[in-house]
Amino acid sequence: MQDDKVVASSPPQDTSLGKTHSRATVAAHRSFAKDVILICTVTLAMILNIGNSAAVVIALPTMGKDLNIVQEKLQWIISAYSLSSVNLYSRKYTFIIGCAFMGAFGLGCGFAQDEITLFVLRGIQGIGAAACIPAALGILAATFPPSPMRSVAFATFAAGAPVGAAIGAAIGGVLTQLTKQTWRSTFWFLAAMSAACCLGALVSIDNDFTSDIVDRRVDWIGAFLVTAGLTFIIFVLSDGSVAPNGWKTGYIIALIILGVFLLALFVFWEHYLEQLRNRDVAPPTKWWNPAPIMSVTVWTRANGKLAVVLGIAFVEWCSFQAFTFWIQLYFQDYSGLNPILTMVRILPMCVAGVVCNMIVALVVGRIPAVYLIVIGTLLTGVGNLLFAVINPSATYWAFGFPAAIVSVAGTDFVYATGTLFVAKVCLRHEQSVGGALFQTLTQVGTAFGIAISTIVYNATLSKSAKQHGVQVNKSGTNAPRAAQLVAYRDAFWTGAAFGFVGELACAWAPFCARASRVGAIFALIFLRNVGIVGERKKKDVSSEPAENKVSSMDRS
């Protein structure tokens, strides 16, 4: 058993670290133009990923009317896309196949004629994001060694999120309102972007290093366990309040128990596979014992701080995606605005997001990451809070505009600094696994945040309507406006709570084991000693001992 102090400052040795000189040599022969094309390509993938959510979110009311989907079911159009994001393998061809998946099944979404078909196609489309986004993180980490260029590359990649939100909102609003095919045109436009992403990858991304992955088998058992478990839990959260007997309905109780059991079994199974491969004598190669899709020990990197960063990413996306989901419903369903006017009100979020990523690129190598994360998550909570106390008769500039400006800070600061942190503390062969964990938790956070806030919205709407003497129908269209306002406010209060939980998560780094009990102070407490994750000047990393790469960041 290793000493805890050693584990904190020295992750297990990467058996392929001897190859780093050859990697550095290969990277040195890449042209600057090829590096630029690579950064643009992976950033386009991020734009495409976020655009596939932003464009669909703004078209939700139109899609609901066209396909007769009640409001409580609309969240599944977003959640189905998010729940598929569990990465299996990585690098160049996984990236290309992932982009192709997003394009092909997005094209199919544009031809869907009913809600079930749309939900299924969105779920399969999400597999593309599960592949290409974590692969992009691994590609950046493998191509750019610790240097100012790496900070620029990761910040540019993260900037794809607000740019994707801008393009998605703009395209979603314009095409939904002005084209004959309405929301279907949005999917077709995004499919064309997927094709461009595939072409850029073929030109700019180097082939995988043969030492990266020896065992190419897929852990289908683990993939099934985690996907089924998450799907059952999110289904219960979204449908529990509207089931025939509410939360007491038999299948709701059965599915929540089954979902939790499958997730626990997934963790046990991944740990078993990892221990199996660490034995002195290699076990016989069978179809059921490949490399785990999630290394359990990777969560312990940097003395457990990696687990804290992943937890912060989860709650931050719960907060921000709940905000983006409800803000467009508030503008369109409550305020009666059309998609284009809604898009105009959301666009400041995108401009602010680009500015936030420029700030990250400038300061990430100069100030500790904890400050960026704390400020960002606090501002996302404030954005939700402004809508939680909104006065509908007030001008947009009083509540809507400042909320749009500050709400994006959390996701942009957390994504850029978080992915840099993952790249810094994970071993070389874990880069894509770490990126996959980060991406997966943000996507699951999206589904979880929307599901929880929908539960709050439905419960508040029903209760408030009864106080006005109205029994709300299945679609909620007969609810009094006063009851709708209270329900919207409570949904935003839920998003604010998630944001403040994440903001309070970063400062007690030595006490990571107590995270579950002190979740409310997540950011100020657990990450106070993380330090600086970016680079100010180039260093000779090839001669730096592996055990020193994390300790400098983990020093008290």
What tens digit of pLDDT does each residue of 442-471 get? 878 888 898 899 889 988 999 999 999 998
Domain residue ranges in the chain: 31-208, 220-280, 299-524
**What integer pLDDT is reported at residue 20 of this predicted model?**
42
For residues 459 and 453, what is the distance between their CA atoms, to the nearest angstrom? 10
Q: For 170-211, how does the pLDDT look when each residue is reduced to its tens digit (9 = 90+)? A: 888 888 888 888 899 999 999 999 999 999 999 888 876 544
**Common-topology check for domains 31-208 and 299-524:** yes
Q: How confident is the model at residue 372 (pLDDT cuts 50, 70, 90)?
A: confident
Which range (133-147, 312-326, 327-341, 487-501) has the least confidence? 133-147
CATH number belonging to domain 31-208:
1.20.1250.20
Name the nearest CA neighbour of 209 among 431, 542, 534: 431
Q: What is the mean pLDDT of residues 280-301?
A: 79
236-272 pLDDT tens trace: 877 777 778 878 899 999 999 999 999 999 999 999 9
> What is the model's pLDDT at position 494?
95
Residues in the chain: 556
Residues 287, 257, 249, CA angle at the centre, nearest 5°? 135
Q: Give the residue-averaged pLDDT of 136-140.
A: 84
Q: Give the pLDDT mean for 499-505.
A: 70
CA angle, residues 371, 372, 373, in degrees to nearest 5: 90
Q: What tens digit of pLDDT does each residue of 394-409 get?
A: 999 999 999 999 998 8
299-524 CATH choice from 3.90.1170.30, 3.30.1360.120, 3.40.50.300, 1.20.1250.20: 1.20.1250.20
Instruction: For residues 269 and 221, give the distance between their C-alpha atoms in angstroms, rounded to a whole number.
Output: 8
pLDDT, one tens digit per residue, over 82-112 is: 665 444 454 788 899 889 989 999 999 999 9
Rounded to 5 degrees, φ, ψ at 532 are -90, 130
Q: pTM for the whole thing? A: 0.75
| Residue owning tokens 């979902």 | 259
Q: Which of 17-26, 143-152, 340-349 has the lowest mean pLDDT?
A: 17-26
pLDDT tens, position by position, 419-436: 888 888 888 777 767 877
Lowest mean pLDDT among 6-10, 29-33, 331-335, 401-405: 6-10
The residues, any chain, with a CB within 8 Å of residue 177's CB and separated by 6 or more, are 338, 339, 340
